[in-house]
Structure 1
Amino acid sequence: MSYKVELFHSLLNDFLQGESALITIEGEVLAVRGKHPATYGTLSTAANIVGKYLKLQEGDIAVLNDPYSGGSTLDEMTFIMAVSEDLLWITRRPMTKSIKTGKSIEDEGLRIPPTPLLQNGKVNEVILSAMQAHPACPTDLGGATFADWIKAHFAEMILHAQKLHDTIEATGFEITGELIEEYVELSKNLAHQRISENASGETRVDIVLDSGELLRLNLEIHEGKIKMDFGGTSAAKTIHLTESAAFGTCFHTISRYYGFTEYANSGTFSALQVTKPAGCWLMAKYPASTLKGMTSGVAALQAAIELALTHIHTKREKAMSCYSPLTVQLQNGASHIVVNLQGGKGALASKDGDSAQVENLSIEMIERELPLRVIRADRRQSSGGKGKYSGGRGLIFKVEALEDIEATWLSDLTLHRPRITKNCSHGDPCEISLDSQGTNKVLPVLGTQKILKGDILTLCSGSGGGFGKAE
């Protein structure tokens, strides 16, 4: 790898923080970074739509949260900025989290299509005010109004983009078409090499979601390329995943497995071919609701791909992980909080799976905002999937209602266990239960329930699977 290519790669790593991407105005993906699998397909879609229809000038910024235009869920905003006449920078920021499900995307909140809000250094106050006036517009974004929150992110982006320009100018570094072409080609070769170093073959995996959808994956690996054919996957019942989110999840899963996620661009994208039948739940069409697809659907897709790779690469066999967090929204009047309980990781052939960590969970804040008492917030007592090596433990969150509150929750919806290899065992599934007046009731994997004063709600996220026979 040449010095200029290494410097360019380092520049991309320094510039792209969080869920973000850099893409040429012609649609060449230079880099994508992020933790959420769907990011690797949705951000480039957002940039391509904005680049095609809005024609941003340098310094202009457009926003969107519409999943059908490259967004994720409606509680995350995607910003697209022209950092030069040739490059678009896309970044995604979370807003106030909420769980709103319905038959239509419009039931989930305020849907914003690609909209130019900053042009020639001026904010379009008319459009921004109209967004803020919408009854479904998020409120109290860290103490700021929606309009102030948007403007604050504009200011941050302008400063960050200026730092990029200053760095390029100070180093005398020039991003040329030839450099981009070399970088993308080297990335492509890296992906093909990493895939070729492992076994080739083909397999089929079926996963049935609790909502009734079938996910059927026919995976083939040959000469450094991967083909994923989802022929046989059923139509949607309640799970809808956009095409760009489905591709992003497929790419993210294989790039993590083979170790080239840091080189996510048009070159490495070419190592993957994805075929989906029209009308299946991986090809959502407006106005279908997408929240469950972006959470439970993504988790099912990750599980299917990892299971298929395990079938082919037997020397790298591992147990299944619980990919989808168990998410609960607790509400009392206008106050609400959303808690995400991550699942445990699957065990490997040589070690236990990693247990989930309790992250960003302030018991003091929860008890201050809502009339409830947190009884427990830690790891489940279960050791996860059984075997010589145990699966990572999930989390438990247990609260007592001090007044009547409402709970809405969403789990991974994959209690129907897929066929796994003989060396592995399944971990514990998500569990939701309610203790009311001395009677314990197991609740469904998805739902809304009024929690009466004195009731105790217990939520447990899934555990990772175990590996090997216990001695």
Structure 2
Amino acid sequence: MSYKIELFHSLLNNFLKGEEALLTIEGDVLAVRGKQPATYGTLSAAANIVGKYLKLQEGDIAVLNDPYSGGTTLDEMTFIMAVSEDLLWVSRRPMVKSIKTGKSVEEEGLRIPPTPLRQSGKVNDVILSAMQAHPACPPNFTEWIKEQFAQMIEHAYRLIHTVETTGFEITGELIEEYLDLSKNLATHRISENASGDARVDIVLDSGELLRLSLEIHEGRIKMDFGGTSAAKTIQLTESAAYGTCFHTISKYYGFTDYANSGTFSSLTVTKPSGCWLMAKYPASIVKGMNSGIAALQAAIELALTHIHSKKEKALSCYSPLTVQFNANSSQAVLRLQGGEGAFANRDGASAHLENISIERIERELPVKIVRADRRQSLGGKGKFSGGRGLIFKVEALADVETTWLSDLTLHRPRIPKNCSHGDPCEVILDSNGSTKVLPVLGTQKVLKGDVLTLCSGSGGGFGKPETPA
């Protein structure tokens, strides 16, 4: 790797923070960074749509949250900024997190198509005020948008200043060399493992079938979802589905840090028209962005495990348990991740209590967190155990409206013989001396004195448990 390529790669890593991407105005993806799988397909889709229809000038910023224009859920805003006459920067930032499902995306909140809000150095206050006036618009939306603009302008200035002061030139030749190197890296890392094919079926709790035929040959991966069913309640946009596919394989083979047009070329994804991976407006998206993505990750991991028997591992719990509490005008959302599947030589990693402030929840809502810990798992046993999920016990000090969402609990896919399934997510209500297991998707008023137990899933176990001597 040449000095210029190393410097360019370092420049991209230093500039992109969170869920972000940098593209050329012609549409070449230079880099995508982020923790969310959908990011790796949706951000470039958003940039391409904005680049095609809005023709941003340097310093202009457009916004969107429309899932059918490269967004994800309506509580996350995507910003597209022309940082120069040649480069587009895409940044996705969460607003007030919420779980709001409906029969259509229009019932899930305020949907914003690609809209130029900053042009020629000025914010379009007329459009911004119209958005703020919408009944589904979050409070303080105008102030929040302007804060994001200020942060982006400052960050973009640093990038341009760094390039200018170092004399570093981002030329077409440099970009071409970088993308070729990235492509070759992905091809090498895929081809140094076994080739082969596998088919996996995953059935979601709502009855949708996900059928994946995965083929690996000469450093390229083909995913064919022929046989995947039409939607019942789960829908996922095409860009989010592709992003999840790419993120899962790039993480498996270790080239996520080189997510760009070069490495994208190592993956081909085909889907039948009308299946739930090809959502069309105005289909509801929230469930798909949670359960649909989890099903895709599970299917791809299983297929790779079947092909790469020497790297066999147990299935991780990809479906988080997302819970929203509402009382009066206060709201809090918990997202409890599941445990990792065990490997042939070690236990799976347990879930962590990340970004969860118990103090804030208890301060803002009439609840008491009785327990916050890793759950004791009944499943996921073996020579090496699956990572443990989380358990939250929440006592209501007054009536609290609760909404939760999870999946992949009713139908267990076929797994390798020397692996075991982990525990699924669970929601349990203790009320007036009785205990009730609730469905994995629902809304419930938790009455004063009731205790709601929330358990995220555990990872699967690997190998037979060792018998004590």
For the 8 Å contact 2:98–2:333, the answer to whether it is kept is yes
Aligned position for 2:47 = 47
Aligned position for 2:416 = 421
For the 8 Å contact 1:23–1:31, the answer to whether it is kept is yes
For the 8 Å contact 1:383–1:393, the answer to whether it is kept is no
For the 8 Å contact 2:408–2:424, the answer to whether it is kept is no
1:210 paired to 2:200: no
> TM-score under structure 2 normalisation?
0.98
Q: Cα RMSD over matched residues?
A: 0.8
Alpha carbons of structure 1 residues 11 and 384: separation in structure 2 relative to 1, 3 Å: farther
CA distance in 1, matches of 2:401, 2:34: 32
Amino acid at match of 1:10: S
**1:353-368 residue pairs with structure 2 within 5 A?**
353-368=348-363
Aligned position for 2:308 = 313
For the 8 Å contact 2:198–2:303, the answer to whether it is kept is yes
Amino acid at match of 1:333: N
**1:285-434 residue pairs with structure 2 within 5 A?**
285-382=280-377, 384-434=379-429
TM-fit CA distance, 1:360: 1.8
Amino acid at match of 1:464: G
Aligned position for 2:90 = 90
1:184 paired to 2:164: no
Aligned position for 2:138 = 138
CA distance in 2, matches of 1:432, 1:17: 34
For the 8 Å contact 1:384–1:393, the answer to whether it is kept is no
Aligned position for 2:103 = 103
**Cα deviations by residue, 1:131-179 (Å, 9 ceiling, x for unpaired):** 111110112xxxxx11111001101101100100111011100000111
Amino acid at match of 1:370: L
- The DSSP-based 3-state class of the residue aligned with 1:238 is coil
CA distance in 1, matches of 2:394, 2:7: 51
CA distance in 2, matches of 1:16, 1:274: 26
Amino acid at match of 2:271: K
Aligned position for 2:66 = 66
**1:221-232 residue pairs with structure 2 within 5 A?**
221-232=216-227
Amino acid at match of 2:87: L
Aligned position for 1:36 = 36
TM-fit CA distance, 1:286: 0.2
TM-fit CA distance, 1:402: 1.3
1:149 paired to 2:155: no
- The DSSP-based 3-state class of the residue aligned with 2:232 is coil
Alpha carbons of structure 1 residues 112 and 354: separation in structure 2 relative to 1, 3 Å: same
CA distance in 2, matches of 1:212, 1:367: 37
Amino acid at match of 2:243: G
- The DSSP-based 3-state class of the residue aligned with 1:126 is helix
CA distance in 2, matches of 1:173, 1:384: 55
Amino acid at match of 2:248: T
1:258 paired to 2:214: no
TM-fit CA distance, 1:191: 0.5
- The DSSP-based 3-state class of the residue aligned with 1:381 is coil
TM-fit CA distance, 1:374: 1.1
For the 8 Å contact 2:379–2:420, the answer to whether it is kept is no
> Once structures 1 and 2 are overlaid, which stretch shifts more, 407-416 or 437-446?
407-416
CA distance in 1, matches of 2:265, 2:111: 32
Amino acid at match of 1:226: I
TM-fit CA distance, 1:413: 3.6
TM-fit CA distance, 1:324: 2.2
Amino acid at match of 1:146: F
> TM-score under structure 1 normalisation?
0.98
CA distance in 1, matches of 2:254, 2:377: 31
**1:277-288 residue pairs with structure 2 within 5 A?**
277-288=272-283
TM-fit CA distance, 1:323: 1.3
For the 8 Å contact 1:388–1:470, the answer to whether it is kept is yes
For the 8 Å contact 2:409–2:425, the answer to whether it is kept is no
Aligned position for 1:271 = 266
Aligned position for 1:81 = 81
TM-fit CA distance, 1:400: 1.1
CA distance in 1, matches of 2:409, 2:95: 28
CA distance in 2, matches of 1:52, 1:368: 47
TM-fit CA distance, 1:414: 4.2
Amino acid at match of 1:277: P
Amino acid at match of 1:94: P
Match of 2:161 among 166, 186, 190: 166
- Percent of aligned pairs with the same residue? 81
**Cα deviations by residue, 1:199-255 (Å, 9 ceiling, x for unpaired):** 000110000000010000000000000000000000000000000000000000000
- The DSSP-based 3-state class of the residue aligned with 1:248 is helix
CA distance in 2, matches of 1:414, 1:300: 11
CA distance in 2, matches of 1:19, 1:342: 19
**Structure 2: 5+ residue runs without aligned partners?**
none
Aligned position for 1:23 = 23
CA distance in 2, matches of 1:266, 1:51: 16
CA distance in 1, matches of 2:129, 2:370: 42
**1:186-201 residue pairs with structure 2 within 5 A?**
186-201=181-196
TM-fit CA distance, 1:415: 2.9
1:175 paired to 2:177: no
CA distance in 2, matches of 1:151, 1:162: 17
Spell out structure 1 runs of 4+ moving beyond 2 A: 412-415
**Cα deviations by residue, 1:232-288 (Å, 9 ceiling, x for unpaired):** 000000000000000000000000000000000111000000000000000000000
Match of 2:456 among 446, 457, 461: 461
CA distance in 2, matches of 1:452, 1:164: 52
**Cα deviations by residue, 1:318-349 (Å, 9 ceiling, x for unpaired):** 11111121010011122111011110001110
1:112 paired to 2:149: no
TM-fit CA distance, 1:382: 1.9
**Structure 1: 5+ residue runs without aligned partners?**
140-144
CA distance in 2, matches of 1:371, 1:413: 31
CA distance in 1, matches of 2:386, 2:193: 25
